[in-house]
Chains A and B, each alone.
Chain A
Amino acid sequence: MVTESTQSPEPPALPSLADITTAFSDVADVAERERAVKVETIDLDFFYGDVQALFGVSMQVPEQAVTALIGPSGCGKSTYLRTLNRMNDIIEGTRLSGTVLVEGQDIYAGGIDVVALRKRVGMVFQKSTPFPKSIFDNVAYGPRVAGEKNKAVLTEIVESSLQRAALWDEVKDRLDDSALALSGGQQQRLCIARTLATSPDVVLMDEPASALDPASTARIEDLIFELKKNYTIIIVTHNMQQAARISDHTAFFFEGKLIEFGVTRELFTRPGEQQTEDYITGRFG
């Protein structure tokens, strides 16, 4: 299995300074590998009509860490992400086989309430999608649709969510302004706050910073780093530097297949597969 390749790095013959620092990092990597599994897919196939988009993807996503999905466009990384909260259900003519487990529970089994699932597994999209409503109403939307009516509770949720999304200080005096008046970067952080307000365990992010300027991107990346203390984050990115900067684990997809999955630093420094190496060294994609 693909994950095996990262399990047993060969011991260095003569330790150099570089090797020693690597060895220290390897201690961290081992700890990283020991994390509990939050989301797991087993032999996942996915079809758009007759076109197969995912081929037997098996992967274990660790808890309270950032997992990046990388690969050239059309490789199936976004499709994979959307199977984890069943967002693909709303696309007509799609079909899925295999198993997706969230905390060990099969989310495609009968009797699963997709609405409850999507509250547990939140999602942030590539393009910020603020609703044409006030900032407050945007963040309070999730709790409200879940039936929360108490204004005090909502206010509390809105404040804490905005704080965790590092947006509170910028908007606390204008919560009743339209969300459309915010800048692009602020809108994306609002969308993250909105997702956090439903108190998910897992946050899926589909290229959340690709439409933003570098400064806003940096803020989003800082935010993601903070968030992983409390949430399991899975992020799709086409930007390898970004994946290397912010993620603990990285999965490389190519043509619908999971080529390699491992601790980010290892995957980038010592890729186990030729295709991975070709991609990260820029020979294709």
Chain B
Amino acid sequence: MNRSAVETAERLASRHRKGRLFEWACLGATSLGVLVLVVLLVGVCVQAWGWLDGDFVSSYDSRHPREAGILAGIWGSFWLIGMTAIFSVPIGVGAAVYLEEYADRSWLTRLIQVNLANLAGVPSIVYGILGLTVFVRMFGAFPDGKVIVVSLGIASLKIPIPFGRTVLSGALTLTLLILPVVIVAAQEALRAIPGSIRNASIALGASRWQTIRLQVLPAAAPGILTGIILALSRAIGETAPLVMIGALTYVAFTPGGIETPIDVIRDPQGVLDAPYDTFTALPIQIFNWVSRPKVEYQHVAAAGILVLLIVLLVLNGTAILIRHRYRKGIRW
């Protein structure tokens, strides 16, 4: 072997060494995410050990760490997310259907699309300020405040104007916050439905809306549902906008006084009152405990985080299940 051949071989070996080093570095970076997740989960579990029990999920917050519980937060989040879903699903799916199935390529359609992308990047706290001004205070247009009472036979609806620091204000704020996410997810699901299905339906004499209602939406439903669940699980963890609109940090009641699932059936007045009640939510209670100086509250916070993470895990698991189920079922 002559000199230059040796040199070339050495250079090649060095290039391969560098290559391996780079690959390991990239692998390390990728593993970092996994590592952090493990540390975080194990850490929270260790901290919450002995604190997360039946009493914790069935009692209210307390000045004594050992007696503090998350009942108010669970019910608050339940009402909040339930109502957010009621508002955001029809509006979000409707907007996506318009953009994908009806809209032409006009400047207005483009504007709406660009606007959606920008809204998705607006910090959640800004939505909080919007909710505070528009829903909670209604621009201060009703300085005296009033309550509209609508009687519905066995119970009556008591709607405060302005909405104030209620579940309703929170749900409306979260609706605006997650709408861009829901719309974009639903658009993707609709786009995945082959055009041949639409053509076939239209060629059979179905109108546009019949085609959407009978063919496109059922076919896109799993994708849309997955997107909605993921958006709602983002809403469950949102804290900043709720702090802004004034979700209470220390609460010893549940919205509408409903403390068990049975109450939902037994107490119609409570169900109607819940949306107009003040409230706290899971992440708000966690934030409150984290901010307290007493060290024991770190354990209470960890227990609360574990409850929140379990709720998220159940929701995400459902989304993955839906995605998996339907992907197998339909082939185009």
**Interface residues, chain A, with chain B CB atoms under 8 Å away:** 85, 87, 90, 92, 115-116, 118-119, 122-123, 125, 127, 129, 131-132, 141-142, 145-146, 180, 191, 194-195, 198
Shortest distance in angstroms between B27's beta carbon and chain A's nearest beta carbon? 41
Query: In the complex, what residues of B have CB within 8 A of residue A198's CB?
Result: 204-205
Contact A141 B214 (CB under 8 A): yes
Query: In the complex, what residues of A have CB within 8 A of residue B205's CB?
Result: 115-116, 118-119, 142, 145-146, 198
Q: Which of B181-189, B195-203, B311-319 contacts A (4 or more CB under 8 A)?
A: B195-203
Contact B197 A194 (CB under 8 A): no
Q: Mark B210-236, 1 if CB is under 8 A from A, else 0.
A: 100011001100000000000000000
- Cβ 8 A contact of B203, one of A118, A127, A131, A132: A118
CA distance A119 to B331 in the complex (A): 28
Query: In the complex, what residues of B have CB within 8 A of residue A119's CB?
Result: 204-205
Contact B203 A122 (CB under 8 A): yes
Shortest distance in angstroms between A79's beta carbon and chain B's nearest beta carbon? 14
Interface CB pairs A-B, < 8 A, 12: A87-B202, A90-B198, A92-B105, A118-B202, A118-B204, A119-B205, A125-B199, A127-B196, A129-B200, A142-B205, A180-B330, A195-B203
Shortest distance in angstroms between A64's beta carbon and chain B's nearest beta carbon? 21
Across chains A and B, which 5 residue pairs bring their CB atoms closest together, nearest first?
A119-B205, A123-B203, A129-B200, A145-B206, A142-B204
- Cβ 8 A contact of A85, one of B105, B203, B210, B214: B203
A89 nearest CB neighbor, chain B only = B202
Shortest distance in angstroms between A194's beta carbon and chain B's nearest beta carbon? 6
Query: In the complex, what residues of A have CB within 8 A of residue B331's CB?
Result: 180
Cβ of B104 within 8 Å of any chain A Cβ, yes or no, is: yes
CA distance A216 to B250 in the complex (A): 73
Cβ of B31 within 8 Å of any chain A Cβ, yes or no, is: no
Cβ of B291 within 8 Å of any chain A Cβ, yes or no, is: no
Query: In the complex, what residues of B have CB within 8 A of residue A118's CB?
Result: 202-205
Query: In the complex, what residues of B have CB within 8 A of residue A92's CB?
Result: 104-105
CA distance A194 to B104 in the complex (A): 30
B219 nearest CB neighbor, chain A only = A132
| Given A92-B104, A141-B214, A180-B331: A115 and B200 interface contact (C-beta under 8 Å) | no
**Interface residues, chain B, with chain A CB atoms under 8 Å away:** 104-105, 194, 196-207, 210, 214-215, 218-219, 330-331
Contact B196 A131 (CB under 8 A): no
B194 nearest CB neighbor, chain A only = A129
Shortest distance in angstroms between B102's beta carbon and chain A's nearest beta carbon? 11
A85 nearest CB neighbor, chain B only = B203
Of B194, B200, B205, B206, most A-chain CB atoms within 10 Å = B205
Contact B210 A125 (CB under 8 A): no
Query: In the complex, what residues of A have CB within 8 A of residue B207's CB?
Result: 115, 145
Of A87, A116, A141, A198, most B-chain CB atoms within 10 Å = A141
Contact A87 B210 (CB under 8 A): no
Shortest distance in angstroms between A100's beta carbon and chain B's nearest beta carbon? 16
CA distance A180 to B197 in the complex (A): 13
CA distance A85 to B210 in the complex (A): 18
Contact B214 A145 (CB under 8 A): yes
CA distance A129 to B203 in the complex (A): 11
CA distance A92 to B201 in the complex (A): 18
CA distance A127 to B194 in the complex (A): 12
CA distance A185 to B282 in the complex (A): 56
Query: In the complex, what residues of A have CB within 8 A of residue B219's CB?
Result: 132
Query: In the complex, what residues of B have CB within 8 A of residue A90's CB?
Result: 198-199, 202
Contact A141 B202 (CB under 8 A): no
Query: In the complex, what residues of B have CB within 8 A of residue A141's CB?
Result: 201, 204, 206, 214
Contact B196 A115 (CB under 8 A): no
Shortest distance in angstroms between B139's beta carbon and chain A's nearest beta carbon? 41
Query: In the complex, what residues of A have CB within 8 A of residue B199's CB?
Result: 87, 90, 125, 129
CA distance A197 to B57 in the complex (A): 59
Query: In the complex, what residues of A have CB within 8 A of residue B104's CB?
Result: 92
Of B104, B194, B196, B206, most A-chain CB atoms within 10 Å = B206
CA distance A229 to B134 in the complex (A): 68
Contact B200 A87 (CB under 8 A): no
CA distance A191 to B200 in the complex (A): 9
Query: In the complex, what residues of B have CB within 8 A of residue A142's CB?
Result: 204-206
Contact B197 A129 (CB under 8 A): yes
Shortest distance in angstroms between B197's beta carbon and chain A's nearest beta carbon? 6
Query: In the complex, what residues of A have CB within 8 A of residue B105's CB?
Result: 92
CA distance A24 to B47 in the complex (A): 99
Query: In the complex, what residues of B have CB within 8 A of residue A195's CB?
Result: 203-204
CA distance A90 to B198 in the complex (A): 10
Query: In the complex, what residues of A have CB within 8 A of residue B200's CB?
Result: 125, 129, 131, 191, 194
Contact A129 B196 (CB under 8 A): yes
Shortest distance in angstroms between A33's beta carbon and chain B's nearest beta carbon? 30
Question: Can you add 6 more A-B contacts, CB < 8 Å, to A127-B196, A129-B197?
Answer: A118-B202, A118-B203, A125-B203, A129-B196, A141-B201, A142-B205
